[in-house]
Chains A and B, each alone.
Chain A
Amino acid sequence: MIASLEMTSMDFLMWTKGPLFQLALTVFALGMLVRLMEIFMLGREHNYALPRGSAVAGGLRTLYRRFYTDAGTFKSAPFDVVVGTLWHIGFIVALLLFIPHVELIKATFGIAWPALPNPVVDAITVITLLGLLAALVHRLLHPVKRFLSTHEDYVIWAVTFLPVLTGYLAYHRIINPYPLALGLHILTAEIFLVVLPFTKLTHIFTAWVARYYNGATFGRKGVQS
């Protein structure tokens, strides 16, 4: 049998949708659960003092309370609060409420939820892209931020930006042929998944753990955090 060596755009799409997607999911699930289980198993050091309040209630309260930015943070870094919130929400909405993504989740996990109309997701995607670009520019121009930024910060910015960008290009059919555009989008999403457990992107999951522990520690002491 003669196999042709050059890869067509359809081969590329089938490769990213098939074996590569399975591989990315495997690396993501394996890596992320190793990290989370390790954190949970380690737990917190036993506190022998008498509790003065509920740790659980404190933890849950902080999980929620942290959504509100305190006045001090907003005053010192209004750009980060506004732009950061904007693109984070945009990213999550585009990820979870775009119809093709809902179909993908339905096929993978067997659960589904209502989605948003395409034009709404489209507008949100544009806001997300602009927000991410603004965040990068701010990071590069702000001397303190720039000093604090590591290579990893730029890598995860790119890894986050690319799936949104390629998704936008594929939806608007700006790259042709379409299988190439869709394949690129899936590939960048897979890179995001693979990189996630091994970089700061783990905050997607660990932020909630940290918030809870923070709140629980203070809640036990009877203090609000």
Chain B
Amino acid sequence: MASPHPESPAGRLAPPLRLQSKPLRQPQPEPSLGEILRRNGVSRRGFLKFCAATATLMALPPSMVPAIAAALETARRPSVIWLSFQECTGCTESLTRSVSPTVENLILDTISLDYHHTLQAAAGEAAEHAREEAMNANQGQYILVVDGSLPGPDANPGYSTIAGISNYEMLMDTVKGAAAVVAVGTCAAFGGLPKADPNPSGAVAVQDLVKDKPVINVSGCPPLPMVITGVLAQFLTFGKLPELDEYRRPLAFFGQAIHDRCYRRPFYDKGLFAESFDDKGAKAGWCLYRLGCKGPMAYNACATMKWNSGASWPIESGAPCLGCSEPNFWDAGGFYDALSVPPGRPGEALLTAGALGAALGAAAGALGRRKVKTAGLAHQAVTADQLEQQL
């Protein structure tokens, strides 16, 4: 680590994440990231290492390191306003548990996190004042991070308010001056748990409301900490939005299904499955498809980035993937039902319809029988002569 200069990025921000205490907007142009680092005694090798770790963080190949270095040399620090709505703070917990302090602290410190009401010391009016100040100082340039869903414009706003301001009003007000919106977590990205059936609070996702600003979804319940910081790092480094999938998720992290990157995939291909949580297959680490793994339809980076500083991840610990990064995952069938099993009770529909069909068929058959019978009874012998007379 560089010399613990009082103004050094690493020195100023020690884990867990701490907010900058006062607004730092100066009239003169801000120094670039490269300048900040060098001013703080970070050597060129240190910078190279920073870039290498950033490449890993952004899920970019190491061959991109020179490009990252060039971009970071001139990158300016963006301001970030973080709004938390109907959420459980799991996403913030995930973010503050990111375990590579060197890199992520540098990035988060380089990013000026001007408002995060869960993490900041200020509360109520004072906190709202800080938000307005940050908005005014960085009009049109700040990144708005949202975690949690929010009651839609037609829902009762009383389900979630901050300092007496409804979530909807606060989002629409703050989004006006934002350069881009990053929806962190499945709630912000897709509605998540609050939106799950029957959705009492009328919860909607950020992208349902924000139509005139770019929205990036970083889904997951919670998202991988490296993915949250990686997306912010990407914005910081290249100053532009990453390539997104159909759900507006960055392809670098959400481009591949868990199934396609899963170390247990060879067992799926060979047809070797655990059938209960403690059978031979489970102990041998076979595929968890039959125990409800949603890996084939879940797009996320857990299989490579893993959790808890790379210690493990759900499938490695023997639990099927819940598909938490996918829309409506709460309502998409049982967590421990195989992917091919439909939600609800199709068996009942089948039996009811079958019984009804049998009854109808029996009735139709009986009717047909009676027709035959009456026709038989009404039968009269006819001779050829009689027929000829009728003609």
Question: Would you give the shortest CB distance from A196 to chain B, in whole angstroms?
Answer: 13
* A29 cross-chain contacts in B, Cβ below 8 A: 349-351, 353-354, 357
Q: With an 8 A cutoff between CB atoms, is B198 at the interface?
A: no
Query: CA–CA, A101 to B290, complex, Å?
Result: 11
Task: Give A225 to B127 CA distance when docked, in angstroms.
Answer: 91
Chain B hits for A53, CB < 8 A: none
Which of A26, A39, A109 meets B353, CB within 8 Å? Answer: A26
Determine if A203 is an interface residue (Cβ-Cβ < 8 Å): no
B209 at the interface (CB under 8 A from A): yes
The smallest C-beta distance from B314 to any residue of chain A, in angstroms, reads: 18
For B164, the chain A residues whose CB sits under 8 A away are none
Q: Mark the stretch among A16-24, A60-68, A78-86, A211-219 that contacts chain B.
A: A16-24
Determine the residue in chain A with the shortest Cβ distance to B340. A100
What chain A residues lie within 8 Å of B245 (beta carbons)?
Answer: 177
Q: Which residues of A are found within 8 Å of B247, using beta-carbon distances? A: 8
Query: Is B340's CB under 8 angstroms from A101's CB?
Result: yes
A77 at the interface (CB under 8 A from B): no
Q: Please, what's the 1-or-0 string for B349-382, where 1 marks a CB less than 8 Å from any CB in chain A? A: 1111110111111101110110010000000000
Instruction: Tell which of A1, A13, A179 touches B152, judged by Cβ atoms closer than 8 Å.
Output: A1
- Indicate whether A30 sits within 8 Å of B357 (C-beta atoms), given known contacts A39-B365, A108-B350: yes
A17 near B333: Cβ-Cβ < 8 Å: yes
A23-34 to B contact mask, C-beta < 8 Å, 1/0? 001111111111
Task: Please determine whether A1 and B154 come into contact, CB atoms closer than 8 angstroms.
Answer: yes
Q: Which of A106-123 contact B (CB under 8 A)?
A: 107-110, 116-120
B346 touches A33 (CB 8 A): no
The yes or no answer to B326 lying at the interface (CB within 8 A) is yes
Whether B246 lies near A9 (C-beta < 8 A) is yes
Contacts of B272 in A (CB 8 A): 117
The chain B residue sitting closest to A116, CB to CB, is B271
| B296 lies within 8 A of chain A by Cβ | yes
Q: Is the CB of B353 within 8 A of A38?
A: no
- Known A14-B328, A100-B289, A173-B260; contact A37-B362, beta-carbon cutoff 8 A: yes
**B177 contacts A by Cβ under 8 Å:** no
Cα of A173 to Cα of B332 in the assembled complex, Å: 20
In this assembly, does A104 line the interface, its C-beta being within 8 Å of a C-beta of chain B?
yes
Contact partners of A33 in chain B: CB under 8 A: 353-354, 356-358, 360-361
Which A residues lie within 8 Å of B339 (CB)?
A: 100, 182
Pair B246/A107 contact, Cβ less than 8 Å: no
> Count of chain A residues with Cβ under 8 Å from any Cβ of B?
51
Contacts of B369 in A (CB 8 A): 41-43
In the assembled complex, which residues on chain B have CB atoms less than 8 Å from the CB atom of A1? Answer: 152, 154-155, 202, 204
A118 and B350 form a contact (CB under 8 A): no
Is B331 close to A, CB under 8 A? yes
CA distance A26 to B356 in the complex (A): 10
Q: Say yes or no: A107-B257 contact (C-beta < 8 A), given A1-B202, A33-B357.
A: no
| Residue total for B at the interface (Cβ-Cβ under 8 A) | 61
Cβ contact of A107, chosen from B328, B341, B349, B361, cutoff 8 A: B341
Q: Tell me, yes or no, whether A40 is within 8 Å of chain B by CB.
A: yes
**A35 close to B (CB within 8 Å):** yes
Shortest beta-carbon distance, A199 to chain B, in Å? 17
Task: Give A86 Cβ to nearest chain B Cβ, in Å.
Answer: 22
The reply to whether A99 and B326 form a contact with Cβ atoms under 8 Å apart is: no
Nearest CB to that of B155 among chain A residues? Answer: A1
Q: Is A150 an interface residue (CB 8 A)?
A: no
Q: Give A100 to B297 CA distance when docked, in angstroms.
A: 14
Q: Counting CB contacts under 8 A, is B240 at the interface?
A: no
CB pair A17 B343 closer than 8 Å: yes
- Please indicate the chain B residues that have their CB under 8 angstroms from the CB of A25 in the complex: 346, 349-350, 353
A36 to chain B: closest residue by CB = B361
A32 pairs with B341, CB closer than 8 A: no
A41 to B361, CA, bound (A): 8
Partner of B368, one of A21, A42, A101, A109: A42
State the CA gap A43–B362 with chains docked (Å). Answer: 11
A104 touches B347 (CB 8 A): no
B357 to chain A: which residues have CB within 8 Å? 29-34, 37
Min distance, Cβ B215 to any Cβ of chain A, angstroms: 12
Would B289 and A99 count as touching, CB distance under 8 A? yes
Task: Considering the complex, give the chain B residue whose CB is closest to the CB of A19.
Answer: B344
Question: Which B-chain residue is minimally distant from A34 (CB atoms)?
Answer: B361
Residues of B close to A104: CB separation below 8 A: 338, 340-342
B253 interface residue (CB < 8 Å to A): no
Give A119 to B270 CA distance when docked, in angstroms: 6
In the complex, the chain B residue whose C-beta lies closest to that of A104 is B340
Residue of A nearest to B207 (CB): A4
CA distance A37 to B202 in the complex (A): 48
Inter-chain contact B271/A34, CB cutoff 8 Å: no
Given known contacts A104-B340, A118-B270, what 12 new A-B pairs fall within 8 Å (CB)? A10-B332, A30-B353, A33-B361, A34-B360, A40-B365, A41-B366, A99-B271, A103-B337, A103-B338, A104-B341, A119-B269, A177-B257
| Interface set of A (CB-CB < 8 Å, partner B) | 1-2, 4, 8-11, 13-14, 17-18, 21-22, 25-43, 99-101, 103-104, 107-110, 116-120, 173, 177-179, 182
Top-8 shortest CB links A-B: A41-B365, A37-B361, A117-B271, A33-B357, A100-B340, A103-B338, A29-B353, A30-B357
Would you mind naming 22 contact pairs between A and B with Cβ atoms under 8 Å apart? A1-B204, A2-B152, A10-B326, A10-B327, A10-B332, A18-B342, A25-B350, A25-B353, A26-B349, A28-B350, A29-B350, A34-B358, A37-B359, A38-B361, A41-B364, A104-B338, A107-B342, A107-B347, A117-B272, A118-B270, A177-B257, A182-B339
